[in-house]
Chain A
Amino acid sequence: MLLQTHQAEIETIIGRYPSKRSAVLPLLYLAQDTYGYLSPEAIREVAEILELPPTQVFEVVGFYTLFYDRPVGTWVIQVCDDVPCCYVGAEELIAALKATLGISEEQTTADGMFTLQRVKCLASCDRAPVVQANLDYIYDVHAERAEELLNNLRARAAEAKQRGVSGRFAEDYLLGPQGIVHIPRDAPYQQERGERK
């Protein structure tokens, strides 16, 4: 039960808002990180903590693609397949990820490491194609480097597990010539792009 395991954190979150219901998103993230995904029971638990009709909390979960209402892997890989990303190879990237992982969209690898999803615009068209892994942004990902990306993520599985799937502590990365590069939050915006062939 969330209220038992995270009581102090829940109280802090709720205390930030004038009315309890405003805490619905942070509490859902908390529940998602705790349980790995939002089961109907977890959603009802949040509803009960916030004294909301369960239907309203289910509505929130259903609306946002970043709430997972079924079990997902350690890394949820979301690839933008909207127009700009498509122009620079999103479909090829998706095909490569599928082939490498041996799964199709909305599926999770047998080892529970990766879940693959297509999403619409991630608002980083200038660095397309864009991949989002547990909300870590990874820019300039091309099909031929799919495996490299996956290896990097697999290597950081423990980190992902510790941070949770919700991306509450997500960071930005660039898939540069030397591999994946972390972009600090306060770094100035860089026009630098990954090498293209």
Chain B
Amino acid sequence: MPDVTITVDGRSFSVPAGTNVVDAARMGGIAIPVFCYHPRMPAVGMCRMCLVQVGMPKLDPATRQPLMDAQGQPVIALMPKLQTGCTTPVSEGMVINTKTEEVQFAQKGVLEFLLTSHPLDCPVCDKGGECPLQNLTMEWGPGQSRFDYNDKVHFEKPVPLGDLILLDRERCILCSRCVRFQDELADDSVLGFDHRGRNWMIVSKSDPPFASKFSGNTTDICPVGALTTADFRFKARVWELSSKPGICTLCPVGCNLNFDMRHDRLMRVMPRENGAVNDIWLCDKGRFGHRFIEHESRLHAPLIRHGDHFVEASWEEALTLVAEKLAAVQSARGGSAIAGLAAPRLSNEDLYLFQRLFREQLGSNNLDHHLGSPDDGDHDDLGGLLAVGKGTNLMELGAGTTVLVFGADPEEEAPLYLLRLRALVQRGAQLFVANQRATKLERSATQALRYSVGGELALARALVRELLERGAAERIKLKHSGLDALRKQVLAQTPEQLAAAAGIAHEQIVALATALLEAEHGLIMYGAEARSAGLALIETLGALAVLSGNVGKPNSGMIALLPGGNSRGALDLGVRPDARPGYVLMPQRGLPAQQLWSAARDGHVRALWIAGLDPAACLPDAREALTAAEFVVVQELFMSETARMADVVLPAASVAERDGTYTNAERRVQRSRAARAPHGQSRPDWQIFQDVAQMLADMMVLPHPRVEAEGAKPAKAAKGAKTAKGQNEQVVTRPPEPPRWDYLTPDEVAAEIAERVPSYGGVTYEALAATGNPGVWGRQANEAVFYDGTSYENTEGIGIALPSLISTGRFTLSLSPRPAPVVKDERPLLLLAQPLAYGGDPLLRGSLLERQLAQPAIVISQSDAEKLNIQNGDRVRIVSAVGELSAAARVHADLPPGLVMVPAGLPGLCLSRIQTGPRTRVSLVKVVV
């Protein structure tokens, strides 16, 4: 937009046309007070706090030219009344006065009115100390009120709007920021106004009330103390808190947050602004789901099994035992008899050292970050190879961007993406949502493509075919192979055949292909449902990204929604049986988690180290394996089912008790800092790995020859090796001279990763601390005065986006297609493990979200229910080739026939018992009581 010149309080400067007066003045460093206006939402002009005097140059009616006075200055015609700055767009030559007597009189008047019935209970109000109403009253308000204190209206309070948020009607100034946030940003229209006049009040009538995964944000943007969280209410005064910058590890978004601590206690979690990640928001899981840090059931000391019970031990004792046992197994049976699993929520430093410990000290490649359950699926390489390019910032994207969300439910898998994608659409981006069932994101889509159950591969192929037909192959600028095979495969079917198999109209496919082709920036996001269709689908989506030219550049590429907060870090850093850090494939692969349990049961694997995962909770195979194993070490926060079966249990420090870096779904590495001392004697995971490695190094002859030989002959290794996706591997030529185990701090580990893992080059703690341009929020002229509560400035670094692997030129992309997975099972229904934000995550313990955990249920479609005469609540049983499961039925009008959905990860409903793989066919029967 062209700039216009305006004069605010006598100072002239230029701002983009169309800016409203409040924002324009702010650009010139002049603060206009607001309550209802919020820069993230359209203005409504409800509170009248931003009244200013506005004048326009007077025009000569005949010539339409500005009239000039004797001095040659344009004559200004002031508008007869004060205007609300937030709803008035600037125009050329506009004169704005914010400090005249008239304006000050109005500001004082508005504040006096807002305070007529305000209870003035700041001393017991959670908002006190970061309250815009306090701040604005000090700055712009009257010193005294003419209203009698005894005349104040009183209401019953607090009114719970839901489990998490409470309303104080006396404090509410009815600015509707919360209502608008829910309607416009979160797309959960669950708040509204009831009654009118003096009785106007915020209500929530959804079922359950205030059903939104973003409710906590309303307390941040509430300019008074009307909305408070049940989590923080009456806990602390805000000025006692010290904010420790952390990263949320509960999902792959990697939101920046602050652990607000009073001394060593976590009082609340607040968002920390990062324009490229979470803007100024945080989902409820991140905000309320960190109570596990202080949960009373945290492990506080190392435990050693004596018969059928555990005895507390010193670290020295426990670690010595671990080292001795592992050394014994290693020398007796070799490294292949040892296996390790590490959770995809551990930090990069932990994961890197874990694989070093196993590969270098134990000579084992039996490493994984999966659970070893039947639906684990393949390791996701494409989300790294074709990741969004360095310099990606979703905040800057709008018109010209096409986003395809394929087989994902971002609201559940990575909630904050819902807000980011909606914001993209509002700025003009095109959003295509392809799924086999309704998701919340679909409501925001430019176009929704509901493919038939099992029709995803046909849809992806139809899109690829359309692109190839249009000569897209010529656009590929990357090293690639297999294009002809791909062409041959997709051309084998006509567009009509593919469209029919996908259950999508051919025109829709053409429209999406066109949007991807024509996009300046193209993003393809895929989630659990897409991944469960196997690599054939994911690679076809990869081909789609490549053929449409949307890879290897900023703001374009693929975003994989993987479980946990750091699955990408685990993949990048080689916690997998087939590749070293940096996706360097190994000629000799270890056992993936899925094969681990049978190997342990059969005695091939004798010792297991499990860090942060709980396979025993739901996998009968794992229980059997853990019983059979000679030695089991479990490193955990809690006494999990797996820990109960361990020989040694090591207490680990939580994310808030140690420094570390995490890599999010877009491959942005971000640093989280220690907010408190480790619970009890718990230690950071990386330190535990290092201590054992040190002992092992002292204790036994290192199994280096093999490892070194492998590194010394990179060319040979490269020739023979193929990645899981068939791309030729290129081994780093740097000879791995194993570093010593003498890291003092995690930043030394990070420095080593930066040095040794190619794509992590430059990612040091020093570099991570750079704040760059944290977004457009920040603290600007007096901003804290009226955006207090949300103005948590990011002074601790906004992270570093890694380049996508393909852009490093070290990898060749294979386009050769895989055949579709063959389904032999004749059972009529497809089982879908529904990933849920409030599923069975053990980290939600102790939080208010525990009350909202999903209930066990078997969700079926209306038509399947009618066919089988099943009502809501009937007990039903699903039967697969390997087992059966029963629960109450829930009939879902939006679910397509042929699909059965069961919440994933619920402790009371172990899906793994009936799963035959990432996709399981089942039949459904009604249980007659």
Give the CA-CA distance A63 to B207 in the complex, in Å. Answer: 21
B192-207: CB near A (< 8 Å → 1, else 0) gives 1111100000011111
Taking the nearest CB of chain B, how far is it from the CB of A106, in angstroms? 13
For B192, B193, B204, which residue has the most chain A Cβ atoms within 10 angstroms?
B192
Give the CA-CA distance A43 to B205 in the complex, in Å. Answer: 10
Sampled A-B contacts (18; CB under 8 Å): A40-B205, A54-B205, A54-B207, A55-B190, A55-B191, A55-B192, A55-B203, A56-B189, A56-B192, A57-B205, A58-B192, A59-B192, A59-B194, A59-B203, A62-B195, A62-B203, A63-B193, A63-B196
**Does A184 lie at the interface of the complex (its beta carbon under 8 Å from any beta carbon of B)?**
no
B194 contacts which chain A residues (CB < 8 A)?
58-59, 62-63
Taking the nearest CB of chain A, how far is it from the CB of B798, in angstroms? 35
A53-B196 contact given A58-B203, A58-B205, A62-B203, CB 8 Å threshold:
no
A44 contacts which chain B residues (CB < 8 A)?
205
B176-198: CB near A (< 8 Å → 1, else 0) gives 00000000000001111111100
B206 contacts which chain A residues (CB < 8 A)?
53-55
Q: Tell me whether A53 and B203 are in contact (CB under 8 A).
A: no
Q: Tell me whether B195 and A63 are in contact (CB under 8 A).
A: yes
Q: In the complex, which residues 768-789 of chain B have their Cβ closer than 8 Å to any Cβ of chain A?
A: none
B196 contacts which chain A residues (CB < 8 A)?
62-63
B binding-site residues for A, Cβ under 8 Å: 189-196, 203-207
Taking the nearest CB of chain A, how far is it from the CB of B315, in angstroms? 54
A56 contacts which chain B residues (CB < 8 A)?
189, 192
Q: Tell me whether B193 and A59 are in contact (CB under 8 A).
A: yes
Q: Which B residue's beta carbon lies closest to that of A63? A: B196
Taking the nearest CB of chain B, how far is it from the CB of A31, in angstroms? 15
A53 contacts which chain B residues (CB < 8 A)?
189-190, 206
Give the CA-CA distance A195 to B194 in the complex, in Å. Answer: 42
A54 contacts which chain B residues (CB < 8 A)?
205-207
B204 contacts which chain A residues (CB < 8 A)?
55
Instruction: Number of A interface residues at 8 Å Cβ cutoff, please give it.
Output: 12
Taking the nearest CB of chain A, how far is it from the CB of B179, in angstroms? 9
Q: Tell me whether B193 and A62 are in contact (CB under 8 A).
A: yes
A157-177: CB near B (< 8 Å → 1, else 0) gives 000000000000000000000
Q: Which 3 A-B pairs have the closest CB atoms?
A: A62-B194, A53-B189, A59-B192
Taking the nearest CB of chain A, how far is it from the CB of B399, in angstroms? 26
For B190, B192, B205, which residue has the most chain A Cβ atoms within 10 angstroms?
B205
Besides A54-B207, A58-B192, 13 new A-B residue pairs in contact (Cβ under 8 A), listed by A number: A53-B206, A54-B206, A55-B189, A55-B190, A55-B203, A55-B206, A56-B189, A56-B192, A59-B193, A59-B203, A62-B193, A63-B195, A63-B196
A59 contacts which chain B residues (CB < 8 A)?
192-194, 203
Give the CA-CA distance A59 to B189 in the complex, in Å. Answer: 11
B193 contacts which chain A residues (CB < 8 A)?
59, 62-63
For A44, A53, A54, A58, which residue has the most chain B Cβ atoms within 10 angstroms?
A53
B192 contacts which chain A residues (CB < 8 A)?
55-56, 58-59
B191 contacts which chain A residues (CB < 8 A)?
55
Give the CA-CA distance A62 to B204 in the complex, in Å. Answer: 12
Give the CA-CA distance A57 to B192 in the complex, in Å. Answer: 9
Taking the nearest CB of chain A, how far is it from the CB of B61, in angstroms? 40
Taking the nearest CB of chain A, how far is it from the CB of B214, in angstroms? 15
Give the CA-CA distance A44 to B209 in the complex, in Å. Answer: 13
Give the CA-CA distance A40 to B196 in the complex, in Å. Answer: 18
Give the CA-CA distance A63 to B200 in the complex, in Å. Answer: 9
Q: Which B residue's beta carbon lies closest to that of A61? A: B194
For A54, A55, A59, A63, which residue has the most chain B Cβ atoms within 10 angstroms?
A55
Taking the nearest CB of chain B, how far is it from the CB of A169, in angstroms? 26
Give the CA-CA distance A40 to B206 in the complex, in Å. Answer: 11
Give the CA-CA distance A33 to B770 in the complex, in Å. Answer: 65
Q: Tell me whether B195 and A55 are in contact (CB under 8 A).
A: no
A43 contacts which chain B residues (CB < 8 A)?
205
Taking the nearest CB of chain A, how far is it from the CB of B188, in angstroms? 8
Give the CA-CA distance A63 to B205 in the complex, in Å. Answer: 15
For B190, B194, B203, which residue has the most chain A Cβ atoms within 10 angstroms?
B194
Taking the nearest CB of chain B, how far is it from the CB of A165, in angstroms? 20
Taking the nearest CB of chain A, how far is it from the CB of B235, in angstroms? 29
Q: In the complex, which residues 33-60 of chain A have their Cβ closer than 8 Å to any Cβ of chain B?
A: 40, 43-44, 53-59
Give the CA-CA distance A109 to B195 in the complex, in Å. Answer: 24
Q: Which B residue's beta carbon lies closest to that of A58? A: B205
Give the CA-CA distance A43 to B190 in the complex, in Å. Answer: 15
Q: Which A residue's beta carbon lies closest to that of B189? A: A53
A55 contacts which chain B residues (CB < 8 A)?
189-192, 203-206
Give the CA-CA distance A57 to B189 in the complex, in Å. Answer: 11
Taking the nearest CB of chain B, how far is it from the CB of A47, in angstroms? 9
A53-82: CB near B (< 8 Å → 1, else 0) gives 111111100110000000000000000000
Give the CA-CA distance A76 to B206 in the complex, in Å. Answer: 30
Taking the nearest CB of chain A, how far is it from the CB of B161, in angstroms? 10
B190 contacts which chain A residues (CB < 8 A)?
53, 55
Q: Which B residue's beta carbon lies closest to that of A65? A: B196
Give the CA-CA distance A54 to B211 in the complex, in Å. Answer: 12
Q: In the complex, which residues 11-40 of chain A have their Cβ closer than 8 Å to any Cβ of chain B?
A: 40
Give the CA-CA distance A59 to B192 in the complex, in Å. Answer: 6
Give the CA-CA distance A53 to B204 in the complex, in Å. Answer: 10
B189 contacts which chain A residues (CB < 8 A)?
53, 55-56
Taking the nearest CB of chain B, how far is it from the CB of A6, in angstroms? 22
B205 contacts which chain A residues (CB < 8 A)?
40, 43-44, 54-55, 57-58
Give the CA-CA distance A44 to B204 in the complex, in Å. Answer: 13
Give the CA-CA distance A58 to B192 in the complex, in Å. Answer: 8
Q: Which A residue's beta carbon lies closest to that of B201? A: A62
Taking the nearest CB of chain B, how far is it from the CB of A52, in angstroms? 8
Taking the nearest CB of chain A, how far is it from the CB of B208, in angstroms? 12
Q: Which B residue's beta carbon lies closest to that of A47? A: B205
Taking the nearest CB of chain B, how far is it from the CB of A63, in angstroms? 5
Taking the nearest CB of chain A, how far is it from the CB of B213, in angstroms? 15
B195 contacts which chain A residues (CB < 8 A)?
62-63
Give the CA-CA distance A40 to B204 in the complex, in Å. Answer: 12
Give the CA-CA distance A115 to B203 in the complex, in Å. Answer: 26
Q: Which B residue's beta carbon lies closest to that of A53? A: B189
Give the CA-CA distance A55 to B210 in the complex, in Å. Answer: 10
Taking the nearest CB of chain A, how far is it from the CB of B567, in angstroms? 34
Give the CA-CA distance A5 to B49 in the complex, in Å. Answer: 50
Give the CA-CA distance A151 to B323 in the complex, in Å. Answer: 97
Give the CA-CA distance A59 to B203 in the complex, in Å. Answer: 8
Q: Which B residue's beta carbon lies closest to that of A59? A: B192
Give the CA-CA distance A57 to B206 in the complex, in Å. Answer: 11
Give the CA-CA distance A78 to B287 in the complex, in Å. Answer: 48
Taking the nearest CB of chain B, how far is it from the CB of A100, in angstroms? 28
Taking the nearest CB of chain B, how far is it from the CB of A138, in angstroms? 25
Q: Which A residue's beta carbon lies closest to that of B204? A: A55
Give the CA-CA distance A19 to B149 in the complex, in Å. Answer: 48
Give the CA-CA distance A66 to B682 in the complex, in Å. Answer: 64
Give the CA-CA distance A43 to B194 in the complex, in Å. Answer: 13
Taking the nearest CB of chain A, how far is it from the CB of B185, in angstroms? 15
Give the CA-CA distance A9 to B618 in the complex, in Å. Answer: 53
Taking the nearest CB of chain B, how far is it from the CB of A11, in angstroms? 20
Taking the nearest CB of chain B, how far is it from the CB of A53, in angstroms? 4
Q: Which B residue's beta carbon lies closest to that of A40? A: B205
Give the CA-CA distance A56 to B190 in the complex, in Å. Answer: 8
A58 contacts which chain B residues (CB < 8 A)?
192, 194, 203, 205
Taking the nearest CB of chain B, how far is it from the CB of A62, in angstroms? 4
Taking the nearest CB of chain B, how far is it from the CB of A56, in angstroms? 6
Q: Which B residue's beta carbon lies closest to that of A64? A: B196
Taking the nearest CB of chain A, how far is it from the CB of B894, in angstroms? 12
Give the CA-CA distance A56 to B206 in the complex, in Å. Answer: 10
Q: Which B residue's beta carbon lies closest to that of A52? A: B189
Give the CA-CA distance A44 to B207 in the complex, in Å. Answer: 10
Taking the nearest CB of chain B, how far is it from the CB of A19, in angstroms? 15
Give the CA-CA distance A44 to B205 in the complex, in Å. Answer: 9
A63 contacts which chain B residues (CB < 8 A)?
193-196
